[in-house]
Chains A and B, each alone.
Chain A
């Protein structure tokens, strides 16, 4: 099996994280924003796994499970909030959720 250096994984992880960050701040559809948030967290997971392999340590892998569980909880709350917002605004467009300014 060909060995892929750890740094490649880390670069990919950071790239995913960056893509997610840009997505959260530029997309206006709430669901897409939630997806971007997930991409950020998956970037973190990949980094943790790569480092865990690099160090030959199980702690990082255990951390990934915790992060996945928490991310699932976060999405559940996020979707609930999206429904609450949809009921009041009639859309999940974030540009319409700007009642408060300043």
Chain B
């Protein structure tokens, strides 16, 4: 399989962005809605391609583009989450934008570019590729956040996001530079291999400094306390469909890369015997995020801000999951991502896109206030929107039988089984804080269903595209809670691939998802000799301490 075919989802997303840009010029004023469907279609094609690649065994082992991409279940799982959130956000924007005076079609092309960056981010195994993905994703988002032309809030949100995002990117780069200095490599697997080979020889200060810098940068991106201060402002000021995308896709992508980078680095022996390990940093962020997110959310009166604090709180739960690593199957002693985390991110993304989606379909131009009073009586006046809000918010709160409940239950259970000795107090704290959070989630429901609006009620935007998006989120939220089997399997497979093989890990002998039904292999790839060859060329995963292949620039 050629390299280009292997990254076809990325190419499709980028081309979709360019195509939408061109179509935007041709489309008349006020007729930009179809661009959302073009974008959605592009994402759907990319999603199907990603799924097919996921099921293709060769994709796992071949070092594409000198090994700067890992096209494995981890990458594809999160790529699907990103594509889903991106597609839903595009549909929501089709209804939201004209109403709010965002006339141009650039929302959709920027969204496509942002999705491209996010996918690049989750498949990257090289720190510079990772940085590129992060920047492509973020630069589009800064503009998107500021894209409401009439609103000072929106410009302010874009500016805040840009400044803090820029600082986070610089931190990430400095971390990468430190790791490069300690090892002479920029690929994660190579870095760990060299660190392991050097042993006590490496400069611990460089590596530990790098880890702290990376934790700060990625902690910012996942909106974990104490790097969360931008979150409520940006979530409030940005156009609501974009907020939905940020909360769903960006968080999932950022967590994917946080887990991959930190857990892969944790394999290096420099951290053994330290007072503060990367795991301790994660635990600290997790506890702070849970406390901040859940407690501060209680005093908010703006629904978008409440959901922003909810996003911080969820980051805390997920960090707890990232902290509680599991043993990698087949290789004792190697820790990998807790397999409850990808599922949690999926359930959270769907529910939060649904909740923000309902808000996106409310209000009219110039009215930006989304305080609790404004959604009063929503459930009675617009039953469909009310149901979508109810399902999404209760899923965020973690009530059965919705996806959020199962995700949370599964996460806490897995955290307890992974670290039986140490995790009990933290899980108890998490459960108690979830109860606190119930207050603000139920307050949204209370206002939507049991309060009458004072004054004129907020109109809902007559919609088709947005309605479809909301229906998808509701159905998925229910499906995740009621029939989660296939999603849990996918989550498990993804988590098993999170930690990059540096040395001893055998090239994945089970290319098809382990727990699910045997995947039908595409005919062309069933040839065993060809598979074997691709195993052998997978030098990235081989235990050789020899020179890595020459860096790309020197190749003709």
B139–chain A nearest beta-carbon distance, Å: 5
Q: Identify A10's interface contact among B128, B181, B300, CB under 8 A.
A: B181
Please give, as numbers and ranges, the residues of chain B lying within 8 Å of A10 by CB-CB distance: 181
Residues of B within 8 A of A54 (CB): 181
Closest 9 CB pairs of A and B: A55-B184, A51-B181, A40-B170, A47-B177, A88-B152, A44-B173, A100-B233, A84-B155, A59-B551
Contacts A33-B163, A78-B166 supplied; 7 other A-B pairs, CB < 8 Å: A21-B167, A51-B180, A54-B181, A59-B180, A60-B180, A70-B132, A97-B156
Give the distance in Å from the alpha carbon of A59 to the alpha carbon of B181 in the complex: 11
Q: List 21 A-B contacts (CB under 8 A).
A: A21-B167, A21-B170, A24-B166, A30-B159, A37-B166, A40-B174, A43-B174, A47-B174, A51-B177, A55-B180, A59-B185, A73-B135, A81-B146, A81-B162, A85-B155, A94-B159, A97-B156, A99-B156, A100-B153, A100-B157, A100-B232
- List, in ascending order, chain A residues with CB within 8 A of B220's CB: none
The yes or no answer to B78 lying at the interface (CB within 8 A) is no
B545 within 8 A of A: no
A37: nearest chain-B partner, CB-CB: B166
Q: Contact string, B159-183, partner A, CB cutoff 8 A, digits 1/0? A: 1101100110110011011101100
Flag whether B343 is at the interface (Cβ < 8 A): no
Does B245 belong to the interface (CB within 8 Å)? no
- The reply on A29 being an interface residue by CB < 8 A is no
Of the four ranges (under 10, 10 to 19, 20 to 34, 35 or more), the interface on chain B belongs to 35 or more
Q: Which of A63, A78, A88 contacts B186 (CB 8 A)?
A: A63
Which chain A residue lies CB-closest to B152? A88
Q: Which residues of A contact B180 (CB under 8 A)?
A: 48, 51-52, 55, 59-60, 63
Number of residue pairs A-B, CB distance < 8 angstroms: 121
Point out residues on A near B: beta carbons under 8 Å. 10, 13, 17, 20-21, 24, 30, 33, 37, 40-41, 43-44, 47-48, 50-52, 54-55, 57-60, 62-63, 66-67, 70, 73-74, 77-78, 80-82, 84-85, 87-89, 94, 97-100, 102
| Chain B hits for A77, CB < 8 A | 139, 142-143, 162
Which listed residue (B151, B152, B155, B186) contacts A81, Cβ 8 A? B155
Task: State whether the Cβ of B54 lies closer than 8 Å to any Cβ in chain A.
Answer: no
Tell whether A66 pairs with B128 under 8 Å between CB atoms, given A44-B173, A59-B186: yes
